[in-house]
C-alpha cells in the first residue's frame, strides 16, 4: 500500500516531510495565567459522561481523565456539576453541596495531578432546562424543549444561589480542583438571567442591562472571594445565543468586561442555546465555523479568550490562533475520540489522530438519552476500566474477512496486541459501508476514520489483502477466523421490482447510478434520509464554506443578535423527492436525538414529501403505485431508490460451516438490523481485545 494513498482526508495519510511540533507553534506556546503557566493553548472542554452518578463513577472517571491528562492538555474541564439541588439537570444527578461529596471528586483530581495535568470543575445550574419538578428560573417561562414550567426565583433565592456557587467552588478547591468553569451558555440558568427573552423581572435582577448582568457578575466575584487568587476561574459566556430575543454582541462584550473585573481568568465561548434551531456542533457545521464569534471580543477585554465548536484537528486549532480569533482553543468530543490528541499534535503526527467526526451518536445522543457517553470511533472512551487492550499472552494467526468498520476495528485491535493478522477485502478499497457514508452531505468526516484505520493497519503491521475475495482455502492455516463480510441491500417483494427505474442505495452512493428528476425513496431509516439528503442537496460536497453554511441557516455576523434580517437563504432542491415507509408513524422518528431535527428540517426546506403507511403495489413505466390509507395512487417518478434495510452477508461463513470450520461473526454479517458504524466498531474492538 502506498504511503500517500489519497483518501480525501484533510491531512496526508503519513508523513510527507519533517514532522515536529513546529507545525503547530501557536498551539504549543505557553500562556501565563496569573500564578500559573499553562503549557499550551489546548483546553479539554466539558463533556458530561453519565458516569458521574454511578457508585463506581469516581474510579471510572479517574481512569478516563488520567489517560487524557497524560497527553498534556493545558487544562481539563469536567462535565457540569450543579451547585445546588434545584440546578441539577436530572433528579439522579449528584450536586456538590457538602464536604461529604468530596470523596467522589478526590480520585479524579488525584489521577489528573499524578498524570501531570490540571483540572477544573464545571459548575452548571440548569435553570429551566432541569428535567425534574424542582426547576427554577428568573421568570416562570417554559423552555420550548421542556414540558415543565419553572418556579420564579425570589430575591432571597437568587442571593442563596450565588452563595451556592461560591460554596461549591470552595468545595471544588478542597477536592483538589485547580479551578472551576462557571457555565454561562447553552441556555442554562445564567443565560436565562442575561437574555431579555427569559428574564422578565422588574427587580434588581431584570430589566436594564446592568440588572440582567448582575447575576453572573456576582457569581464570579463571590467565587473569587471564596477561593483566592491562585484558583483558576473560567467563565463560559454565551457569545451567540441564536434564539430570538437573545443577547446582542454589545451586551456580550459588556458581560465579558464585567466578569473580567469580577475576577475571571479566562473566558470560554458558548454558541447557541439548546433550544436554538441552528446546528452548532453537528457534522454539517464546517470546522471552526464559529471562531469569528470569539474574535469579535478580541481586544475588547484583557483576559485570554477560548474559541470552541467544531475544532477537531490541530490544523484548524492552529489556524484559529494564527488568525487572531482567540488565545486558546477548547475541544471536547475530540478528546473522547482520541485521548492522545495533544501528544500526537505535539509530536507533529496529526495523521495518527482518531478524529472526532461530529456524529454525536455515542456521546451527546447517549447523554440526552440518559446513557453513559462513549465514542463511535473510540468505544474505549468512558470504558477505560472495563475494555483493556493488553498484549496477547499467546500471539496467534488471525484472519479477518471484510474491511468495513467492524473488520477494521477488530483487525487493528487484535494486531496491536501482537497477533499476526491478515485482513481480506474483496473490493479494491478499504472501508465497506464507510465508503457510502462519506458521500452523504455532512458525513465527509468519515474520511478521517478511514485515514485513521489505514494508518493503524500500517502501524500494527496488519497484512492487507485488498481486491481479494477470501475463500475457505485461503483461511485454512489461521488459528482464528473472523467474518465481517457485512450486508447486502434488502430487496422487498414488489411486482415490477426488476423495472429499469429501480436502483439500490448502493448503486446510487457507491456506483454513481443515474437518478432522474423525480424520485421515490422506499424506506425511511437512516439510509433513506441520507439518500434523500444526497439527492436533493444543492452542494453535496464537503461542508467547508463557512459563509454559505451561515447564510443557509440565517446567521449574519453583521447583525447584533446574529440573525439575518432576510432569514435563511432559500434552498433550490436538485430533484423532486418522495419518501415512503410502510409503518404508519412519522418518518424519521428513529434518527439521532441531536441530529435528527437537522435532517428533518433540511428535507422539509427542500419540499421532500413524506408518505407513511404505504403499501407498495407495483412498479412499471407509469411509476410506483401505492396504497396509502384508502387511496391508491401512482407516483409518476423516474427513479425508485430502495433503502429498505439490509440482510447479513454470510456466504463465506456458511461455506466454512459446511466444511466443518468454525468462525466468529461480527458487524452486519452477525446482525444486519439496526447496524450502524457505532455498533460495528464497538463489536470489532471488543472482539479484537478478547482474542
Q: Does 117 bind ligand NAP (CB under 6 A)?
A: no
- Residue 188 is among the residues annotated as catalytic for this protein: yes
Using the minimum distance from each CB to ligand NAP, give the nearer residue, 74 or 531. Answer: 531
Backbone CA torsion sign across 357, 363, 364, 365:
positive
By a kind-dependent CB cut-off of 5 to 8 A, residue 524 interacts, out of ligand SF4, ligand NAP, none, with: ligand NAP
CA Rg value for the chain = 26
- 150 within 8 A of 135, measured Cβ to Cβ: yes
CA gap 317, 325 in Å, rounded? 10
Q: Does 524 bind ligand NAP (CB under 6 A)?
A: yes
Phi, psi of 56 (to 5 degrees): -90, 15
Q: Least Å distance between CB 445 and ligand SF4?
A: 8
Using the minimum distance from each CB to ligand NAP, give the nearer residue, 396 or 499. Answer: 499
- 448 within 8 A of 357, measured Cβ to Cβ: yes
By a kind-dependent CB cut-off of 5 to 8 A, residue 307 interacts, out of ligand SF4, ligand NAP, none, with: none
By a kind-dependent CB cut-off of 5 to 8 A, residue 526 interacts, out of ligand NAP, ligand SF4, none, with: ligand NAP
- 256 within 8 A of 223, measured Cβ to Cβ: no
CA gap 295, 293 in Å, rounded? 5
**Which residues form the interface with ligand SF4 (CB under 6 A)?**
333, 336-337, 356-363, 375-377
Starting at the edge strand that comes first in sequence, how are the strands of the sheet with 631-635 ordered? 614-620, 623-628, 631-635
Task: Identify the CA nearest to 626 among candidates 477, 520, 474.
Answer: 520
How far from chain centre, in Å, is Cα 417? Answer: 28
How far from chain centre, in Å, is Cα 403? Answer: 24
Among 397, 645, 671, 690, binds ligand NAP (CB under 6 A): 645
By a kind-dependent CB cut-off of 5 to 8 A, residue 336 interacts, out of ligand SF4, ligand NAP, none, with: ligand SF4
Task: Identify the CA nearest to 169 among candidates 182, 150, 160, 186.
Answer: 182
- 408 within 8 A of 381, measured Cβ to Cβ: no
Look up residue 22 and give its DSSP letter.
G
Cell reading at 631: 387511496
Q: Least Å distance between CB 357 and ligand SF4?
A: 5
Using the minimum distance from each CB to ligand SF4, give the nearer residue, 359 or 665. Answer: 359
Q: Does 92 bind ligand NAP (CB under 6 A)?
A: no
Using the minimum distance from each CB to ligand NAP, give the nearer residue, 79 or 486. Answer: 486
By a kind-dependent CB cut-off of 5 to 8 A, residue 583 interacts, out of ligand SF4, ligand NAP, none, with: ligand NAP
Q: Least Å distance between CB 398 and ligand SF4?
A: 27
Q: Which of 129, 165, 177, 188 is catalytic?
A: 188
By a kind-dependent CB cut-off of 5 to 8 A, residue 525 interacts, out of ligand SF4, ligand NAP, none, with: ligand NAP
Residues 356-385 that bind ligand NAP (CB under 6 A): 361
DSSP bridge pairs for 618: 625
CA gap 298, 301 in Å, rounded? 7
Among 150, 523, 562, 667, binds ligand NAP (CB under 6 A): 523
**Beta-strand runs (E) in 211-274:** 232-240, 266-271
Q: Least Å distance between CB 337 and ligand SF4?
A: 5
Among 272, 592, 623, 684, binds ligand NAP (CB under 6 A): 592
Using the minimum distance from each CB to ligand NAP, give the nearer residue, 402 or 526. Answer: 526
215: left (phi over 0), alpha (psi -120 to 50) or beta: alpha
By a kind-dependent CB cut-off of 5 to 8 A, residue 377 interacts, out of ligand NAP, ligand SF4, none, with: ligand SF4
- 615 within 8 A of 582, measured Cβ to Cβ: yes
Q: Least Å distance between CB 245 and ligand SF4?
A: 30
- 373 within 8 A of 367, measured Cβ to Cβ: yes
Using the minimum distance from each CB to ligand NAP, give the nearer residue, 86 or 643. Answer: 643
Using the minimum distance from each CB to ligand SF4, give the nearer residue, 283 or 436. Answer: 283
Residues 404-443 that bind ligand NAP (CB under 6 A): none
Q: Point out which residues bind ligand NAP (CB under 6 A).
A: 361, 490, 492, 522-528, 530, 581-583, 592, 643-646, 674-676
- What are the catalytic residues? 188
Amino acid at each position: 500500500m502506498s504511503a500517500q494513498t489519497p483518501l480525501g482526508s484533510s491531512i496526508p495519510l503519513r508523513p510527507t516531510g519533517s514532522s515536529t511540533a513546529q507545525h503547530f507553534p501557536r498551539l504549543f506556546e505557553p500562556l501565563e495565567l496569573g500564578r500559573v503557566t499553562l503549557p499550551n493553548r489546548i483546553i479539554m472542554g466539558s463533556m458530561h459522561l453519565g458516569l458521574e452518578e454511578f457508585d463506581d463513577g469516581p474510579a471510572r472517571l479517574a481512569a478516563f481523565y488520567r489517560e487524557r491528562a497524560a497527553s498534556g492538555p493545558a487544562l481539563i474541564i469536567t462535565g457540569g456539576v450543579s451547585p445546588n439541588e434545584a440546578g441539577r439537570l436530572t433528579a439522579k444527578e449528584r450536586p456538590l453541596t457538602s464536604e461529604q461529596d468530596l470523596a467522589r471528586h478526590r480520585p479524579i483530581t488525584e489521577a489528573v495531578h499524578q498524570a501531570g495535568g490540571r483540572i477544573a470543575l464545571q459548575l452548571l445550574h440548569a435553570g429551566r432546562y432541569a428535567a425534574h419538578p424542582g426547576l427554577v428560573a428568573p421568570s416562570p417561562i417554559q423552555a420550548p424543549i421542556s414540558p415543565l414550567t419553572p418556579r420564579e426565583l425570589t430575591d432571597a433565592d437568587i442571593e442563596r444561589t450565588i452563595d451556592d456557587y461560591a460554596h461549591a467552588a470552595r468545595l471544588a478547591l478542597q477536592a483538589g480542583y485547580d479551578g472551576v468553569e462557571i457555565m454561562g451558555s447553552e441556555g442554562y440558568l445564567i443565560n436565562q438571567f442575561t437574555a431579555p427573552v427569559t428574564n422578565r423581572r422588574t427587580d434588581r435582577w431584570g430589566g436594564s442591562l446592568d440588572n440582567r448582568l448582575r447575576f453572573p457578575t456576582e457569581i464570579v466575584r463571590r467565587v473569587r472571594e471564596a477561593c483566592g487568587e491562585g484558583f483558576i476561574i473560567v467563565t463560559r459566556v454565551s457569545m451567540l445565543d441564536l434564539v430570538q430575543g437573545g443577547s446582542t454582541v454589545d451586551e456580550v462584550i459588556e458581560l465579558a468586561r464585567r466578569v473580567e473585573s469580577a475576577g475571571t481568568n479566562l473566558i470560554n465561548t458558548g454558541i447557541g442555546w439548546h433550544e436554538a434551531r441552528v446546528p452548532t456542533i453537528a457534522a454539517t457545521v464546517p470546522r471552526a465555523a464559529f471562531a469569528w464569534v470569539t474574535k469579535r471580543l478580541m481586544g475588547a477585554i484583557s483576559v485570554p479568550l477560548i474559541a470552541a465548536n467544531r475544532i477537531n484537528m490541530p490544523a484548524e486549532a492552529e489556524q484559529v490562533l494564527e488568525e487572531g480569533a482567540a488565545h486558546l482553543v477548547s475541544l471536547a468530543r475530540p478528546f473522547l475520540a482520541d485521548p492522545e490528541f495533544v501528544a500526537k499534535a505535539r509530536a507533529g503526527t496529526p495523521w495518527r489522530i482518531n478524529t472526532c467526526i461530529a456524529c454525536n451518536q455515542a456521546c451527546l445522543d447517549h447523554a440526552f438519552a440518559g446513557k453513559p457517553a462513549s465514542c463511535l470511533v473510540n468505544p474505549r472512551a468512558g470504558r477505560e476500566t472495563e475494555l483493556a487492550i493488553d498484549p496477547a499472552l499467546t500471539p496467534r494467526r488471525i484472519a479477518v474477512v471484510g474491511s468495513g468498520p467492524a473488520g477494521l476495528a477488530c483487525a487493528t485491535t487484535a494486531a496491536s496486541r501482537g497477533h499476526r493478522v491478515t485482513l481480506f477485502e474483496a473490493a479494491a478499497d478499504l472501508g465497506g459501508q464507510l465508503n457510502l457514508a462519506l458521500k452523504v452531505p455532512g458525513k465527509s468526516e468519515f474520511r478521517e476514520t478511514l485515514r485513521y484505520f489505514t494508518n493503524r493497519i500500517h502501524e500494527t503491521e496488519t497484512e492487507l489483502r485488498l481486491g481479494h475475495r477470501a475463500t475457505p482455502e485461503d483461511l485454512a492455516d489461521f488459528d482464528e477466523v473472523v467474518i465481517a463480510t457485512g450486508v447486502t441491500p434488502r430487496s422487498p417483494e414488489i411486482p415490477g421490482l426488476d423495472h429499469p427505474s429501480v436502483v439500490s442505495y448502493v448503486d446510487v452512493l457507491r456506483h454513481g447510478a443515474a437518478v432522474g428528476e423525480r424520485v421515490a425513496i422506499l424506506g425511511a431509516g437512516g439510509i433513506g434520509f441520507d439518500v434523500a439528503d444526497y439527492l436533493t442537496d444543492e452542494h453535496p460536497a464537503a461542508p467547508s464554506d463557512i459563509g454559505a453554511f451561515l447564510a443557509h441557516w440565517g446567521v449574519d455576523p453583521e447583525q447584533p443578535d446574529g440573525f439575518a434580517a432576510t432569514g435563511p437563504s432559500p434552498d433550490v432542491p436538485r430533484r423532486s423527492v418522495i419518501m415512503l415507509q410502510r409503518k404508519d408513524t412519522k418518518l424519521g422518528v428513529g434518527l439521532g436525538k441531536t441530529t435528527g431535527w437537522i435532517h428533518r428540517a433540511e428535507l422539509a426546506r427542500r419540499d421532500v414529501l413524506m408518505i407513511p403507511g404505504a403499501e407498495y403495489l407495483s412498479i412499471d413505466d407509469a411509476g410506483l403505485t401505492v396504497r396509502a390509507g384508502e387511496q391508491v395512487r401512482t407516483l409518476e417518478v423516474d427513479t425508485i431508490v430502495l433503502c429498505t434495510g439490509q440482510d447479513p452477508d454470510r456466504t463465506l461463513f456458511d461455506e466454512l460451516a459446511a466444511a466443518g470450520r468454525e468462525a466468529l461473526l461480527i458487524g452486519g454479517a452477525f446482525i444486519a438490523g439496526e447496524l450502524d458504524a457505532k455498533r460495528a466498531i464497538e463489536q470489532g474492538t471488543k472482539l479484537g481485545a478478547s482474542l
